[in-house]
Structure 1
Amino acid sequence: MLPFENASCFQAGIGISANIFLLLFRIFTSLLDHKRRPADMITCHLAFVHIMMLFTLLFLMSPDLFESLNLQNDLKCKTFIYLSRVTRGLSICTTCLLSLFQAITISPSTSQLSRLKRKFTNSMVRIFFIFWSLSLSFSSNLIFYIVAVSNETQSSLLNFSKYCSLSPTSTIMTLVFFTLTMSRDVSFGGVMLLSSAYMVTLLIRHQRQAQHLHSTSLFPRLSPEKKATQTILLLVSFFVIMYWVDLILSSYSTLLWEYGPVILGVQSLVTNVYPTVSPLVLISSDKRIKNIFQQRL
């Protein structure tokens, strides 16, 4: 298990550092510009959620960090695993919102979507409140069923980590919360895919128009909106792949009621991939960050 622990800690360290940099940069940029950009607000929220997500996974995967907290193991298990599920749901919701807002941003001014941009800007705080309410509610059952691993071997428990386990739950409660969680994931995932398909359609249309208008240009330049759209599409594609891999591993372990050390380590790495890679992609595609580094050099 030690190689997986080291890999997870290294991965989480990179992700936390990148998300903190992205969060602080977007906050300072917004304060200096005296403008409230919805895209920056969504990105800041996503970075904050990923920082929480990586910290919870870091404590769950590192025995030294877990034991360093002077609290009861049962309380620590309930807190960290509950937060890991809550932040996972928030990551889905916020990525969906980022994709939807980008689709609205690049939509033609004559379309119905473009009229929603102002409403999005004015309702951003309320949207975040709804996301938090949904995520906190849909994972609330874990507070009652997560327990600390005792010294006695209990085959009825499903181990989540070295210290934390899930006790058997009633069939009705399991079905209720599974249905709620899957409904949320399918709904937001569907909106994410629809908005991505819409953006791809617009990009193809714009590309054809550009080729027709600038047929003599061998290297047509991409507009900032198109670059941002391509970045969001990359994030969405990466998120969907990692989500399905994580879902398959979780379903396999839950059905067999067994989390082996290898599966637990692999799932931790898979879960960490998106919150680690997403800030790096957003940082590398941010023109403002590139300009600052070019001026310094």
Structure 2
Amino acid sequence: MSKKSRLQTNSNIRTIFFSELGIGISGNYFLLLFHILKFICGHRPRLTDLPIALLSLTHLLMLLVMQFIATDIFISWMGWDDIICKFLVYLYRILRGLSLCTTSLLSVLQAIILSPRSSCLAKFKHKSPHHVSCAILLLSVLYMLISSHLLLSIIATPNLTMNDFIYVTQSCSLVPMTYLMKRMFSTLLVIRDVFLISLMVISTWYMVALLCRHRKQAQHLQGTSLSPKASPEQRATQTILMLMSFFVLMSIFDSIISCSRTMFLSDPTSYYMQLFLSHMYATVSSFVFMSTEKLIINFLRSMCKTVINV
């Protein structure tokens, strides 16, 4: 296949993609380690600490699985059997779905934290992290059921000769489903995406409205002794808003490229661009979260001073 050969022989594409995965794995590893150390040291957890830690763990595992899958896309490989193909592709899709679920839940939790005491959302501020864990677990189980068709559709095709199969890696391909099955699973996925992204949009709109109201109040109080400086909750909200915007932007680009792939199935460039953009959020998000943690910033500053003094 031309797609195979061009992806294998283009060393620049391979280097850029594996560099992206390496940077993302490192960032999410340090973010997860930071939250584990916070828990061990007895720091009081915030409501968003568990979702952020779970998001970093999800992205870490997703990028590790993708790095293993990428070896069968860009590098000559001995070939996988059906079990390995089904396990890797199914696990990867579950992790991507969990990333979407956790990101949506994180935006809702941040909206709850920012809400005033008079709001109907205020009563959820003191909920236990166990409630958050149950919500994430429920969303994960539902998505596992929606993606279960991959256990039947993914097969090992080391010598792919039929044009009906959809290319996944050198060893794995996707068997075309019947019209009824494709329609059913596509509908379930659309419902899931619309529901979760709608939660993001609603919570984002709510947070923007609260921030605008706070800015007007701060401008009104500028002449008094009160400082209009943003609180930690508002700075965290701005971070979540930036990540939500970036997530939606990457999702739009991913959808555009996916549509273009349906029109130009033999074009390896669009396939690579989709791989690159679909992991951009997992790579960037960890560094954005770390940039808002004072403990990490102070640690990096002390490390820089030590290096300079030496």
Shorter-chain TM-score above 0.5: yes
Match status 1:293 vs 2:300 = yes
User: How has the CA–CA distance of structure 1 residues 274 and 248 changed in structure 2, closer, same or farther, with 3 Å as cutoff?
Assistant: same
Give the Cα–Cα distance (whole angstroms) in 1 for the partners of residues 19 and 147 of structure 2: 27
Structure 2 unpaired stretches of 5+? 1-6, 306-310
User: How has the CA–CA distance of structure 1 residues 259 and 59 changed in structure 2, closer, same or farther, with 3 Å as cutoff?
Assistant: farther
Letter in 2 for 1:275: A
Give the Cα–Cα distance (whole angstroms) in 2 for the partners of residues 120 and 190 of structure 1: 25
Give the Cα–Cα distance (whole angstroms) in 1 for the partners of residues 218 and 83 of structure 2: 59
Give the Cα–Cα distance (whole angstroms) in 2 for the partners of residues 16 and 229 of structure 1: 25
Instruction: Give the alignment partner of residue 285 of structure 2, picking from 275, 278, 288.
Output: 278
**3-state SS, counterpart of residue 139 of structure 1:** helix
Give 1:140 deviation, angstroms.
Answer: 0.8
Match of 1:224 in 2: 232
Match of 2:193 in 1: 185
User: How has the CA–CA distance of structure 1 residues 152 and 282 changed in structure 2, closer, same or farther, with 3 Å as cutoff?
Assistant: closer
Give 1:112 deviation, angstroms.
Answer: 0.6
**3-state SS, counterpart of residue 118 of structure 1:** coil
Give the Cα–Cα distance (whole angstroms) in 2 for the partners of residues 143 and 257 of structure 1: 26
**3-state SS, counterpart of residue 108 of structure 1:** coil
Worse-matched range after superposition: 39-48 or 258-267: 258-267
Give 1:55 deviation, angstroms.
Answer: 1.5
Give the Cα–Cα distance (whole angstroms) in 2 for the partners of residues 152 and 109 of structure 1: 61
Give 1:244 deviation, angstroms.
Answer: 1.6
Per-residue deviation, residues 87-115 of structure 1 (Å, max 9, x unmatched)? 11111110111111010001001111111
Worse-matched range after superposition: 71-80 or 206-215: 71-80
Match of 2:3 in 1: none
Match of 2:308 in 1: none
Structure 1 unpaired stretches of 5+? none
Instruction: Give the alignment partner of residue 269 of structure 1, picking from 276, 299, 307.
Output: 276
Residue pairs, 1:198-237, within 5 angstroms: 198-215=206-223, 220-237=228-245
Letter in 2 for 1:222: A
Worse-matched range after superposition: 107-116 or 1-10: 1-10
Alignment: residue pair count: 294
User: How has the CA–CA distance of structure 1 residues 56 and 104 changed in structure 2, closer, same or farther, with 3 Å as cutoff?
Assistant: same
**3-state SS, counterpart of residue 90 of structure 1:** helix
Give 1:152 deviation, angstroms.
Answer: 4.5
Match status 1:135 vs 2:148 = no
TM-align CA RMSD: 2.2
Letter in 2 for 1:83: L
Match status 1:167 vs 2:175 = yes
Instruction: Give the alignment partner of residue 104 of structure 1, picking from 106, 112, 115.
Output: 112
Taking structure 2 as the reference length, what is the TM-score of the superposition? 0.88
Match of 2:4 in 1: none
User: Identity of counterpart residues, as a percentage?
Assistant: 37
**Contact 2:79/2:170 (8 A) holds in 1:** no
Worse-matched range after superposition: 237-246 or 255-264: 255-264
Per-residue deviation, residues 95-147 of structure 1 (Å, max 9, x unmatched)? 11111101000100111111112236341221121122022111111111112
Give 1:243 deviation, angstroms.
Answer: 1.0
Give the Cα–Cα distance (whole angstroms) in 2 for the partners of residues 259 and 207 of structure 1: 51
**Contact 1:15/1:54 (8 A) holds in 2:** yes
Taking structure 1 as the reference length, what is the TM-score of the superposition? 0.91
**Contact 1:59/1:65 (8 A) holds in 2:** no
Match of 1:42 in 2: 51
